A and B are shown apart, each in its own frame.
Chain A
Amino acid sequence: MTISIDPQKTNNESLQPKGWLRYFSFSLDHKVIGIQYLVCGFLFYLIGGTLASAIRIELASPMSDFMPRDVYNQVLTLHGTIMIFLWIVPVVNGAFGNYLIPFYVGARDMAFPRLNAVAFWLIPPSGLMLVASYFVEGAAQAGWTAYPPLSITTPQSGQIIWILSVLLLGGSSIFGGINFIATIIKLRRPGLKLMQLPMYCWAMLGTSLLVVLSTPVLAGTLILLSFDIIANTGFFNPVLGGNVVVYQHLFWFYSHPAVYIMVLPAFGLVSEILPVHARKPLFGYTTMVFSIMGIVVLGLVVWAHHMFTSGTPPWMRLFFTIATAFIAVPTGIKFFNWVATLWGGKISINSAMLFSCGFIINFVFGGITGVALAQVPFDIHVHDTYFVVAHFHYIVYGGTVFIIFSSIYHWFPKVTGKMLNEKLGIFHFIITFIGFNLCFAPQHWLGLNGMPRRVAEYDPQFQFVNQISSLGALLMAISTIPFLINVFLSVRNGKKAGDNPWNALTPEWLTSSPPPVENWEGEAPLVEEPYGYGKKLSEQK
């Protein structure tokens, strides 16, 4: 049943291809798999970004004139699905998790390396399948939420391929989650206590718990939906006596936690990056751990806040309002702790630091609109409008994607042994930050004043603000160019990084850059104080 394999048996690296070819092989090395996740995810980010640009071009004018209306719905569906399931979730979990977690627990690989490779290799085919469905009969066009009965009545082939693809990606995510939980709990180096783990381990533990508990529900729901489409059952088909609201409950039981599956790992990563560049210990380690676990528990019981205007009884609305608003408390603790980490440090203003601080500012904004959206009376007006679009882009783009870039600037020297160019990096940050806020801040106003989401045409009075938003999107698209140039130039002839260019204390920096196949030449070091900055240990340099 399980595809579990002893780590002892995974050392046949001599049989594996070497050099860059490794990245196209069924490698069992967690570092290779991490890079595979990252590069694969980034390619899908470019596809999803192209789709986003198409949406912003369409919305630059109030008429539906850039593409046919059904194609527009396919584009927005694919944009959402690709960005969530093929870019953010795999990268922030799979890429950084696979690369870093074994270092952090003092292991030479993940608990189940073969399962790990399987989890990655499920992603490219399902992603390609999803994109290719456009050329069959048109891709799915019911939005990434695939609400029935719309998803039952739109062309079937696209929707079925979408379901199949999301099921495979969900499977990949569950395999990854099982692997992370086993690695963090069971594969820790002897002598390493749980409360000594770097914060990213805790974040990944929480995330993986959410993955394991909620993704299967989505899988079950989509199987039922596919029965409705192919086998003519009536689970969610009102014509046959089904109930469309049940789908929404089941779907959001996964898809609210999915927000935390996208955001908690980013919380973990920023907790690694800030102390290094601020030269200060992470402020309030214990409260950070408890707030992560608090978010996990609360995250599982708030799903119906997406359904305040659907058919839900009043008591349910009230409960989910209070529960949702309370997530702001553990989240707030984390943000105060990060600012306290900066306070009194010796901060290096570099690209990694700037993206992390950009994350804090954007996410605080998104969090505030989130608390507002949790209030039923507030949500009733702005539900399904551009206000919501703006809110969740502040969370997943302004939050998580900023952290993905911050992490790339932070760990690039470890992965490649070369430094990224700081000037290009700071330039990248500035246009990303401006472009992002220019694109999404005005959308709050659009939503409040009457522009619903997922529309190809809108009231002409909104044209000017939409054009500002499109201009921001253009800047965001351009911002990818300096980043790509930076990466290509630095990989080829970047400055040599050395083993520990940031003078950091977490275990991945205590080995060579790039690290050897089994992570350490000798025994894994025991790092009891991953954030011991300002103490004698790190004062040496």
Chain B
Amino acid sequence: MLNKNFYLILIISLVFAISFWIGFNVNLLPAEASINAPIYDELFKILFIIGLIIFIGMTIAVIYSLFKFRKRNDQIGDGIALEGNLSLEIVWTIIPSIIVLLIGLYSYNIYDRMGGMKELNHNHEMMSSNTEKIWAGISQTSDNEISINNLSIEVSAMQFAFLFNYPKGNFISGELHVPVDQKVSMKMESKDVIHAFWVPEFRIKQDIIPGQPTILNFTPTKVGKYPIICAELCGPYHGGMRASIIVEEESDYNEWFNKNKKQEVNL
């Protein structure tokens, strides 16, 4: 009896050990380039480990049963007439409920840290009409939000391109340039069908919907060039609908901005 329990505990701890080892050492995600990304990766790691424990555990249980309880050639008759075990069934109702509830609360916390539960405010000078309905998006904040002035960009998507309008400089760009470590606030609207704005390295995605503006706020943390991918089927060239986001040092960004700025318009 002791022997049996010993093996059970050994196997369970092995499953846990393997799951934790994989969870901490196998990286399935791309680079982290926004303040969203590490938060997301934290959630991913937790879910990955819990998932591995359950998956490896169940797989071992199934394969072990198939092996241990297989019918030998000389055997006849049935297995034990066990029709259920109420306390066991209660256990595997309650424990998953608790796990699921904890995961839900935790992911709520993650979502809150990403700014998902925040009131969506898009401090855009040109957006005067308060009645305009903003449907959804992520309103991400960083600690030094107040100290820096937000960068406001208007994104319009169409088959099959993104256009980025910098109202302060009164110019439109096909490439999204943003300075590192500053909050960017985007108001997005589609000209035709539904598109989606996705930057895998930022772990953010938001549909761009015709007729309904959506908001996406983020803060890049790493200098570099990342792909912007359209993630909603939008027509034949959907796969080719990509753009780039260039995160650069503030000085580089200002240089680029001033080069493109149209001077003649003074409001």
Contact = CB atoms under 8 A, between A and B. Distances in A.
Contacts of A313: 135-136
Interface string A337-350: 10110111111110
A296 interface: no
A344 B110 contact: no
B69 A344 contact: yes
Interface of B: 28-30, 39-40, 43-44, 47, 51, 54-55, 58-59, 61-63, 65-66, 69-71, 75-85, 88-89, 92-93, 96-97, 100, 103-104, 107-108, 110-111, 114, 116-117, 135-136, 138, 192-194, 196, 198, 200-201, 203-207, 209-212, 214, 227, 229-240
Interface in A211-260: 238-239, 241-245
A458 B169 CA distance: 33
Among A321, A342, A532, A535, the most chain B Cβ lie within 10 Å of the Cβ of: A342
A346 B66 CA distance: 9
B206 A347 contact: no
Contact of B59 (A73, A361, A376): A361
- Sorting the interface of chain A by its residue count into under 10, 10 to 19, 20 to 34 or 35 or more gives 35 or more
A503 to B, nearest CB: 9
Interface in A176-231: none
Contacts of B231: 309, 383-385, 452-453
A280 B78 contact: yes
A114 B62 CA distance: 43
B89 A337 contact: yes
B69 A455 contact: no
Contact of B205 (A328, A381, A455): A381
B88 A381 contact: no
Nearest to B189: A238
Given A280-B80, A322-B104, A449-B200, A343 B69 contact: yes
B61 A339 contact: yes
A142 B69 contact: no
A444 B28 contact: yes
B58 A335 contact: yes
Given A310-B194, A347-B70, 13 more contacts: A73-B236, A238-B211, A242-B211, A244-B210, A245-B212, A280-B79, A310-B207, A311-B207, A328-B100, A332-B96, A333-B92, A347-B66, A380-B203
A459 interface: yes
Contacts of A333: 89, 92-93, 96
Contact of A153 (B100, B193, B201, B229): B193
Contact of B51 (A286, A348, A372, A454): A372
Nearest to B239: A455
Contacts of A245: 135, 209, 212
A344 B233 CA distance: 49
Contacts of A360: 58, 62
Interface stretch (A13-21, A363-371, A468-476): A363-371
Contacts of B210: 149, 238-239, 244
A459 B80 CA distance: 55
Given A309-B196, A309-B206, A142 B66 contact: no
Contacts of B203: 380-381
B121 to A, nearest CB: 13
Nearest to A328: B100
Contacts of B69: 278, 342-347
B100 A357 contact: no
B81 A281 contact: yes
A372 B47 contact: yes
Contacts of B234: 150
Given A283-B83, A450-B227, A329 B136 contact: no
B209 to A, nearest CB: 6
